[in-house]
Amino acid sequence: MNRIDINIKNGPLVMGILNVTPDSFYDGGKYNSIDAALYHVSEMIHDGVDIIDVGGESTRPGAQEVAVEEEIDRVCPVIEKIIHEFNIPVSIDTRKSKVADEALKLGAMMVNDITGLQADPDMPVTIAQYNAYCVLMHIKGTPRTMQLNTEYDDLLSEITRYLYNSIEIAKKAHIADDKIIVDPGIGFGKSLEQNYVILNNIKYFKKLGYPVLIGLSRKSLIGRLYDTDEDRLPATIALNAIALYNGADIIRVHDVKEHKLIIKPLKMFYQVANS
């Protein structure tokens, strides 16, 4: 089957989250079986998803690292089935080059690395070998430690410097310039208020010259605003609308249908507002 490419210029794009983990913060355990995962993929495709992002390791605050072989066992059977049964670009959400290599070998087209290529020295070469897309994200610390210290001297410039270093690593490994995407890492080593500063300054990160991905779906920057366990979807949609208006090229979401429905009116709003 011929694989379709990822056309970011025709964006904004919606990346659908597929967690095949027992412990992710929102949907851990829902899609552990291949049948459940594939059914969810078919739902997301029906709803208009542009990319499926498959993850086998929770990166919620405090999460413990998963062994390489266990992560491979979680994601690869699902990725193989998606590639075989659907014509949709697949991303592998991993910080480990061996996991990325196995996923790319099966036909995945993108690596979503929460460390921005700064943890596993073999990751850049692995991505370049397959001419894959890569998402370079900013994180302070690791998922286990990242919320222990969220202090910055200058939030925006420090995130930008980290992303610039990740871009340089990618270039040295000969990852194609048009395959690079940056992500300022909402929720990854940031306070509640800092997440909103990032959301309000997406154009600041676009100065790096690359598409920007924003992943805020149902995260604690929403949940911590409520005294009770409220439905986080309406606020997620509202904040993603702001992200898109502020220049995000890709939004990473749990709820595809609702976010695809907001893109056309947002495009019209942006067109009129800037005419």
Catalytic positions are 219, 252
Vertex 25 angle, CA 190 and 256, to 5°: 95
Centroid of chain to Cα 228: 27
Asked whether 183 and 138 are in contact (CB, 8 A), the reply is yes
Helix, strand or coil for residue 102? Answer: helix
Asked whether 146 and 63 are in contact (CB, 8 A), the reply is no
Helix, strand or coil for residue 215? Answer: coil
- The closest of 102, 101, 109 to 126, measured between CA atoms, is 101
Please, where are the H alpha helices in the chain? Answer: 34-46, 68-85, 97-106, 123-129, 155-172, 192-199, 202-206, 220-223, 233-245, 256-273
Token pair recorded at residue 122: 């073999």
Question: What crossing angle do the helices spanning 233-245 and 256-273 adopt, rounded to 10°?
Answer: 40
The whole-angstrom separation of Cα 18 and Cα 75 is 10
- The closest of 32, 34, 96 to 68, measured between CA atoms, is 96
Asked whether 72 and 102 are in contact (CB, 8 A), the reply is yes
